[in-house]
Amino acid sequence: MNTDSKGARPPLVDIGVNFHSAQLASMTSPLLARAKAAGVAQILATGTSLASSRLALDLAKANPGVVFATAGVHPHGAKSHDTATFRELIELWKCPEVVAVGECGLDYNRNFSTPQAQRTAFEQQLSMAVETRKPLFLHCRDAFTDFHDMLAPVVADGARGVVHCFTGNRAEAEAFLEMGLDIGITGWVTDLQRGQALRAAVPALPLDRLHLETDAPYLFPKNSGARRGHNEPANLPWVAAGVAELMNREVDEIIQACTANSRRMFNLPGT
Ligand SMILES: [Zn+2]
């Protein structure tokens, strides 16, 4: 991407970074500096467990206005979710720096936790999204029917949210959009092999319902040319470029729309 134009580029918001991952741990300062230099003005630090949600909150408190946190239990960790954990999460959701409930959802692909344990943890978090009126940061893999059935009533109760790292096809995207959920796009969109269904779906997606995310350290954007190490938030412009190419629009138009969507969804301050 032409970095000469970055000064004029509208600010980006990365709605998913796993700072707690082994690959990114203890690299927060350089990651944030490089993100800022790349035009990524605000970042949501993903919480996938009680411990990582607390880390995300600490990071948000240390970087006010720049980093915000999600707090929740990923379906993989649902087996260790209990009443005590839930009580602690409720305290986290009260914090203003915690802008979303999640990462939560269902993942029947690998079933690191049983589907029943996943549904119990998801159900509790869905009810808290309604109660706190905070948006959901959602994960769904190979569980569309149950996911859809569990979300429908809470969306009817006013819950909002983003299906993060959406990798599905056009029909699934349309089903989520019809429910009122937004779609999070990662570097998956730049993967010419695995990303085929998503790439076919993107041109038809409404620009006012999309969000950009790296999901770092995962999903290094393949359109960036050289792959060096793990993914990081500074690579978000490549995701925007991938979407822009598929939609046949200017990158700045994509960024502007997605930033506005993310700020509105997660109630982030504008600059
Ligand atoms: Zn996820």
CA of 84 to the centre of ligand 1 (A): 23
Taking CA atoms, 213 is separated from 43, 124, 168, 219, 266, in Å, by 9, 25, 16, 10, 14
Give this prediction's pTM: 0.95
Yes or no: say if 62 and 45 are a contact pair by the CB < 8 Å rule.
Answer: no
Taking CA atoms, 26 is separated from 22, 31, 103, 113, in Å, by 9, 10, 21, 28
CA of 162 to the centre of ligand 1 (A): 11
Question: In the chain, what percentage of residues exceed pLDDT 70?
Answer: 96
CA of 103 to the centre of ligand 1 (A): 7
**Bridge pairing between strands 98-107 and 67-71:** parallel
CA of 139 to the centre of ligand 1 (A): 5
pLDDT digits (tens, 9 = 90+) for 234-257: 999 999 999 999 999 999 999 999
Yes or no: say if 12 and 255 are a contact pair by the CB < 8 Å rule.
Answer: yes
As its CATH architecture, domain 11-266 has: Alpha-Beta Barrel (3.20)
CA of 216 to the centre of ligand 1 (A): 11
pLDDT digits (tens, 9 = 90+) for 47-99: 999 999 999 999 999 999 999 999 999 999 999 888 999 999 999 999 999 99
CA of 161 to the centre of ligand 1 (A): 14
CA of 241 to the centre of ligand 1 (A): 22
CA of 18 to the centre of ligand 1 (A): 10
pLDDT digits (tens, 9 = 90+) for 158-188: 999 999 999 999 999 999 999 999 999 999 9
Residues with Cβ within 8 Å of residue 111, at least 6 apart in sequence: none
pLDDT band at 230 (very low <50, low <70, confident <90, very high): very high
If we measure between CA atoms, which residue out of 105, 158, 113 comes closest to residue 132?
158
Yes or no: say if 12 and 40 are a contact pair by the CB < 8 Å rule.
Answer: yes
Please state, in angstroms and rounded to a whole number, the distance separating the CA atoms of residues 89 and 191.
35
CA of 7 to the centre of ligand 1 (A): 31
Q: What is the pLDDT of residue 7?
A: 54
CA of 226 to the centre of ligand 1 (A): 25
Q: Which two tokens stand for residue 86?
A: 């839930």
CA of 54 to the centre of ligand 1 (A): 18
Q: Which two tokens stand for residue 242?
A: 């991938």
For ion ligand 1, residues whose CB falls within 5 Å: 139, 165
Does residue 253 have a cis bond before it (omega within 30 degrees)? Answer: no
